[in-house]
Structure 1
Amino acid sequence: MSTHYFWALAFPKAVKQSIQSQLKEVIEHFPFKRWVHVDDYHLTFAFLGSAEEPMLRRSIELVGEAIQNEKAFPLHIQGLGVFGNRKSPRIFWASLKPDDRLMSLQSRVFKACLESGFKLEKRPFAPHITLARNWTGTDFDHNWLETNNPYQQDPIFFIANEVVLYKTNIGKVPKYEPIATFSLITE
């Protein structure tokens, strides 16, 4: 398998640990086959796939230019959701409260990657943090997403302040390695 790359919003270590800690309270209700390693939590902005070094360098240059004046901003994790078959979901994820600044930042990164020559997915941006993959239980009950949501009563607040180009290292845990990092402006 070839190495893949993607641009993402990185989370501070304390936020990743909070996500995992709160998830431990409800994990027994969600029998998924593979759980994401705590150090691999992120929010994908643009999945590049495999890439040649010149295109990666160009994307780093253009993303850096596109977000150089972007300011850090607050976000919070508030919900749970799934993608895939209603009875046997493929992806289990945490949601963030909708935020125009997040949408704008993702759009800038995405456009810079297109300008770099990457062919990107055209699906609308759906901000989420992948937590687990491949449901192994009986028929999934969507009511569980609300009744077992640890973030509903105790949302996780944090400052979005870092955009990172990650490399996927298949077979390693954690598997995402930062290649380039851009810090947003903090006041």
Structure 2
Amino acid sequence: MNEQHYFLSVPVSAEIKELYSKHLADLKKQYPFKQWPHPEDLHITLVFLGAVSTKKRQELIEQINQTLNSSGLSSFTLRIGGLNTFGNERSPRILWADVQGNLEKLHKLQREINGVCQNLDLRTDNRPYRPHMTIAKKWVGQMEFLLSDDPFTESFVEWDIPYFQLIEIHPKQSPKYKEIQRFNLGGE
């Protein structure tokens, strides 16, 4: 059986995508990484799920909707901060932008949604949640990595999060992420 791969995420604003696009050529020169996401693929992951059957996907959608009806989760605002890395400091695995703003609501949303996934016996990450927006993957530079230019600190763009998404992954396409389901959050 060939199952699709999925994750749940918070979208980023059009302004963030524009800022990323505007600086992408300079970022690529400054930071030699192998993979750079298409601007439309930028997001903040809540829960990575991996392979999920059609039946489990439908159960997940139903359970999330039930949780949203009873949890009191509401919309909130976020903003992108400075750049950082995961992995070896000299040759990092991932270059990412920090997420700031109403982190209390973001963490609550992630806990609730992660709980739904665990109750359905879906694969979840046991590590502590570290919200971020991935900018690039797989360092291929010859020199030691050095963090310098950071376009995300030139203007701290804040945006509203009125919903989150179930995303289907299409690795051979660009953009490679397709929204399958949108989950609306309540108002303030």
Given the two structures, how large is their TM-score scaled by the length of structure 1?
0.89
Partners of 2:92 and 2:56 in 1: CA distance? 34
Question: Hey, what does 2:145 align to over in structure 1?
Answer: 140
1:70 aligns to 2:89 (yes or no): no
Letter in structure 2 aligned against 1:121: D
Output aligned runs, 1:40-79, within 5 Å: 40-68=41-69, 69-79=72-82
2:91 matched to 1:92? no
Question: Structure 2 length as normaliser, TM-score?
Answer: 0.88
CA contact (8 A) 1:3 1:170 kept: no
Partners of 2:3 and 2:145 in 1: CA distance = 33
The Cα of 1:2 is off from its aligned counterpart by 5.2
Query: CA offset at residue 57 of structure 1?
Result: 0.9
1:81 aligns with 2:72: no
- Counterpart amino acid of residue 97 in structure 1: Q
The residue type paired with residue 92 of structure 1 is L
Q: Which moved more, 1:175-184 or 1:12-21?
A: 12-21
- Alignment-derived partner of residue 109 in structure 2: 105
Distance in 1, Cα, partners of 2:131 & 2:96? 10
Structure 1 residue 17 displacement after superposition: 2.1
- How big is the shift at 1:19? 3.4
Letter in 2 for 1:129: M
CA distance change for structure 1 residues 179 and 82 in 2, over 3 Å: closer, same or farther? Answer: same
Distance 2:120 2:179 in 1: 19
Aligned residue type for 1:139: E
Paired residues, number: 183
User: What is the aligned-residue RMSD (CA, Å)?
Assistant: 1.9
- Name 1:156's counterpart in structure 2: 157
Q: Which amino acid aligns with 2:152?
A: Y
Letter of the 1:126 counterpart: R
Q: Is the contact between residue 3 and residue 52 of structure 2 (CA under 8 Å) also seen in structure 1?
A: no
